[in-house]
Structure 1
Amino acid sequence: MKKLLTLLLVLFLSAVLFAGGVSETTGAKAPGYKDTITVGQGADVTSFDPHIGKETPAVAVTNHIFDTLVDTDPVTGEVVSQIAERWEVLSPVEYRFFIRKGIKFHNGEDLTADDVKFSLDRAIASGSVSYIVDFIKEVKIEDEYTVLVTTKAPYGPTLRNLAVPFAAIVPKDYVTANPDGLKTNPIGSGPYKFVSWSQNDNVVLQSYADYFQGAPATEKVVFKIIPEASQRTIALETGELDVSYDILVSDLKRIRQNKNLVLFEAPSLTCFYISFNMRKAPFNNQLVRQAINMAIDRQLLVDTVNSGTGSAADEIIAPAVFGYHSTGVWPYNPEKAKQLLAQAGYPNGFECSLWVNNNQSRVEMCQAIQEMLREIGIKVKVEVMEFGTFISRSTAGEHDMGYFGWVTSTKDADYTYYSLQHSSQQGAPGNRSFIADAEVDRLVMLGRTSADMKVRAQAYKYLAIKLKDVANNAPIIYTAITAGANKSVEGFVLDPIGYHKLETVKVAK
């Protein structure tokens, strides 16, 4: 434990050291304002295709390029119009959407009902994002600007799911002619157009003058990929960045005290968790999974590695999500954990790996967990890899344990439980524990298909209790979502999901 506490102290203090940088200036779109917003984020886009690239770093970029039928207000959470100017609920399974006339894609093509049907059908067929729209039975074109969406059964989160960026509307003709075109040369109807992508370095977007809500406030957006959070903070301090996402927790105080910067902070919908690959021994043993859960002192991780921000997690959905039921944070009990390992046939522990992508905060968390597991005899090798590699290899089930983050983007438990726990969603959709449990599947589907919110809430309660026993995952921490900005930045609104929108943002000179 002494070694663990020493490591935690080092992690806590490490970000105090920093170096200088070079400031960057740009021309102005309007008098007094820059013509470019420069944003720093920790990982690159995996794919610009909204029906493939579902990870937060990808969506943080692509949600400026594509729009959806409806949207959610980042402050109130209410469903609001977007491509559909209005809608009617005809029955528990029928929704009619009236599409705005005059919307054009970035290549000049008109956006019509044909594109809406094509896009939703394409998302349903996607191996990556089908879980968000596969409640849809049929999309029927009623006329050039009207579609009828029929669901397979009454489905409570219908409108919220259609507001998720993975249900983006794409140009049918372009995609039909270039099936892989969106991956690297996206064309949408959103407020910004794609310009260029220098892989693992930057993405450049240009304002779309003909956007139906009016051109964005700033001409260009540059997303700079800076994996190390401490380096993003330095870049923010020197003026290289105007905005930086996901501030290193140990840098929060530093930003608060900088008179030239502003810190945005709020509870998020994100849970970080360890997923055990149940296809591999010893993680196919329930006692081993329970032992690891009991060997992790989550509150200590919050207080040290996370500098007191966020909170210890008991479920993989956050408390603000509909369907959350607290089963209590796993008690920290290393002696009991050792007993469980012995019962499982591992009295001396074992060796394994814990995968994590090259995000500094996540690596530090895994290093602390590594030391906690060492206390019960489990020798963990923390393997750090580039984000795209981490996703592709864990999708293939090559990992022992993986450290993942998940955002319940719709604020509805179905979004998380279906994709992470249902047996049909193994691999790319999100189930990287490869759990396949009939009772779990039944409860997931009951919560997914019932129109009665009380029935849904009860299903999710029993599901939470069941999953606590199965222990296919180890929830670790609920995070606070953060961003830092120069005081010259105007109009920035923190999105609790992490899909911050920049079309209203301006940067004063």
Structure 2
Amino acid sequence: MLNRAVLISTFLIFLCWTSAANAYKGTATVALPDDPLSMDPHITSSTIGWMIWRWPYDTLLSSDPRTGKVSPWLAERWEKLGPKQYKFWLRRGVRFADGTPFTTAAVKYSMERILDPKLKGRQLAYWADFERFEIIDEYAFIAHLKSPDNGFLRRLSERFLIISPKVKDAPATAPARESFGSGPYVLKSWTKSIRMVFEANPTWWGNSLYPDRPKTVVLRTIKESTTRVKALLVGEVDAIMRVAAQEVPEIKRNPQTTVGVVPGLRIFYLSFANRFGGPFADEKIRLAANYAIDADSIIKTIVGGLGTPIGQLYHPWAYSGHNPGKKWHGYDPAKAKALMKESSHPNGFKASLITTTGTYPFDRASGEAVAGMLKQIGIETSVQAVPFPMYRKLFTAYQTDRKDPAMFFRGWGQTMDAAYVWRGTSSCAGIWSVSCFKDLDDWNEKAAGIDAPKEQQAAFEKLTDMMKERAVHKVFFQMVDAWGYRKNLELSPRPDENLFPWEIRMK
């Protein structure tokens, strides 16, 4: 009888634990301005992509964007063996949604896939300092770097998504449309540019840590900000991102909805296409454009105050590089006109300003405002406000062979990686760069390879000074993020523009 009682008690405890571990419930519908270009987590790089890929794919580590602190995820612990070596121990008992055990083989395969030139992926620059993984056994490995990299752990938490090795047996196009991860959700259906449906992964290792998360997450693509707000107010969706300043009061007046505001990671700037020469290869023209643009006016009138002036591209939470005392070129129309007269095009020229439309509440209007300001110094600017997929195509064209004068209204965010700021936005091979300054490329790599924090900080600050002196970009502001959501959710907006459904608590 005693043994039977013990058996029954044990069984009941197991049932209670299982119930708590899989107590996800309900449906959360999220409206975003875009859906991913692809579901392959190793091919491209975009804000929406990095958010959505995390739903079905796990990373080795996790990081808090508010503090920069790195914590365990698929890797339970790690140790820095030296300036260029880190040892990791993996979580045991994890399986991919397809049933494949998670081991060091999957870690090694995922990195090899990212670096495979045949894949033609756009994430190679993230891993410029990576050398190899040394496999110790199924659950331990050593990462070897080419040079010291203080951002390596942070990058593993943001940019290294682990894919099942079984993807090798799937059709070549499958990763673009399906999910092959071990993460909290599994992609069930996708109608491009309309709707994606994710279901909670019942075998996810973290189920017991997030018991009240949504069972189903529906992603609806709604490009216009006002339409997203209407959908929220009538209950068609439960959460929306990038609420415009003028829309905040309306959402707050509704007893069923609220707004969460948080300082964001994204920094907005104007990028000058000069990789192949042209007017914007002239430093005086870039400086003239900097002085001609009134960034403070854009923040107050168009952004509605949901922006903070900033004098650099290094975010306050980057592991190195940020200095709150830095200031960028201000508004000085007289100086702008004088510089244009001294430039290679004293009589002005025509140029395109390319911006997204609907990706941010203020993107088109900001581009139009900048065009009006540049006209005052003789740069006749035509604004092309296009959906994000076309924006990416145009950007790629100016990276490869297009040479007519152009500028891009850009937002750089979702990373606290100091080394990648220059690599991504400004380098000769940057994924989001249409410029080329080889000497500054060299300086950035030198700074990235410094192990001593104080020396590294000084080196990145010097790079900011050189960027300003040569007017590589026109820096505008740091975004303040506003999320709208219904009160049936318990949601704490993140400053990195991510929405992780497992962090949502369904009431």
SS of the residue aligned with 1:396? helix
Q: 2:285 aligns with which of 285, 288, 295?
A: 288
Partner residue in 2 for 1:228 = 224
More displaced stretch, 234-243 vs 245-254: 245-254
More displaced stretch, 399-408 vs 110-119: 399-408
Shift of 1:280: 4.5
Question: Matched residues in 1 for 2:488 and 2:221: separation?
Answer: 22
Partner residue in 1 for 2:187 = 194
Partner residue in 2 for 1:181 = 174
Partner residue in 2 for 1:25 = none
Change beyond 3 A, Cα 1:442–1:74 = closer
Change beyond 3 A, Cα 1:113–1:178 = farther
Alpha-carbon deviations, 1:34-62, whole Å to 9, x = none? 62100011122112111123211112211
Contact 2:61 2:71 (8 Å CA) reproduced: yes
Partner residue in 2 for 1:412 = 417
Question: Matched residues in 2 for 1:262 and 1:194: separation?
Answer: 28
What's the TM-score once normalised by structure 2's chain length? 0.88
Alpha-carbon deviations, 1:177-228, whole Å to 9, x = none? 4444221112111100011111111211111011001176211111111111
Report the count of equivalent residues: 470
Matching of residues 358-507 of structure 1 within 5 Å: 358-359=357-358, 360-397=361-398, 398=402, 400-407=406-413, 409=415, 411-423=416-428, 425-426=429-430, 429-432=431-434, 434-438=435-439, 440-490=440-490, 492-507=491-506
Partner residue in 2 for 1:301 = 298
Question: Matched residues in 2 for 1:503 and 1:405: separation?
Answer: 27
Contact 1:270 1:407 (8 Å CA) reproduced: yes
| In the alignment, structure 1 residue 238 sits paired with structure 2 residue 234 | yes
Shift of 1:473: 1.4
Partner residue in 2 for 1:352 = 351
Amino acid at match of 1:137: E
Contact 1:105 1:188 (8 Å CA) reproduced: yes
Amino acid at match of 1:413: A
Partner residue in 2 for 1:39 = 30
Question: Matched residues in 1 for 2:122 and 2:194: separation?
Answer: 25
| In the alignment, structure 1 residue 163 sits paired with structure 2 residue 157 | yes
What's the TM-score once normalised by structure 1's chain length? 0.88
Question: Matched residues in 2 for 1:364 and 1:494: separation?
Answer: 25
Partner residue in 1 for 2:248 = 252
Shift of 1:65: 0.9
* RMSD of equivalent CA atoms: 2.0
Question: Matched residues in 2 for 1:95 and 1:146: separation?
Answer: 11
Instruction: Tell me which structure has the larger Cα radius of gyration.
Output: 2
Contact 1:493 1:500 (8 Å CA) reproduced: no
Question: Matched residues in 1 for 2:494 and 2:171: separation?
Answer: 33
Question: Matched residues in 2 for 1:352 and 1:313: separation?
Answer: 26
Question: Matched residues in 2 for 1:70 and 1:283: separation?
Answer: 41
Shift of 1:74: 4.5
SS of the residue aligned with 1:303? helix
Change beyond 3 A, Cα 1:33–1:86 = closer
Contact 1:175 1:182 (8 Å CA) reproduced: no
Contact 2:44 2:121 (8 Å CA) reproduced: no
Alpha-carbon deviations, 1:328-357, whole Å to 9, x = none? 131211121111112114333222111111
Change beyond 3 A, Cα 1:154–1:74 = closer
Q: 2:316 aligns with which of 293, 301, 319?
A: 319
SS of the residue aligned with 2:481? strand
Shift of 1:247: 0.7
Shift of 1:300: 0.7
Shift of 1:290: 0.8
Change beyond 3 A, Cα 1:33–1:419 = closer
Partner residue in 1 for 2:11 = none
Alpha-carbon deviations, 1:152-172, whole Å to 9, x = none? 1221112111111x3111112
| In the alignment, structure 1 residue 89 sits paired with structure 2 residue 80 | yes
Amino acid at match of 2:295: R
Contact 2:238 2:485 (8 Å CA) reproduced: yes
Shift of 1:276: 0.6
Q: 2:52 aligns with which of 61, 75, 79?
A: 61
Question: Matched residues in 1 for 2:25 and 2:138: separation?
Answer: 40
Question: Matched residues in 2 for 1:471 and 1:354: separation?
Answer: 17
Question: Matched residues in 2 for 1:312 and 1:370: separation?
Answer: 20
Contact 2:414 2:497 (8 Å CA) reproduced: no
Structure 2, unaligned runs of 5 or more: 1-19
Amino acid at match of 1:251: E
Matching of residues 257-272 of structure 1 within 5 Å: 257-272=253-268
Amino acid at match of 1:496: P
Change beyond 3 A, Cα 1:75–1:103 = same
Contact 2:43 2:123 (8 Å CA) reproduced: yes
Percent identity between matched residues is 27
Question: Matched residues in 2 for 1:127 and 1:327: separation?
Answer: 35
Change beyond 3 A, Cα 1:386–1:142 = same
Shift of 1:258: 3.0
Structure 1, unaligned runs of 5 or more: 1-28
More displaced stretch, 256-265 vs 448-457: 256-265
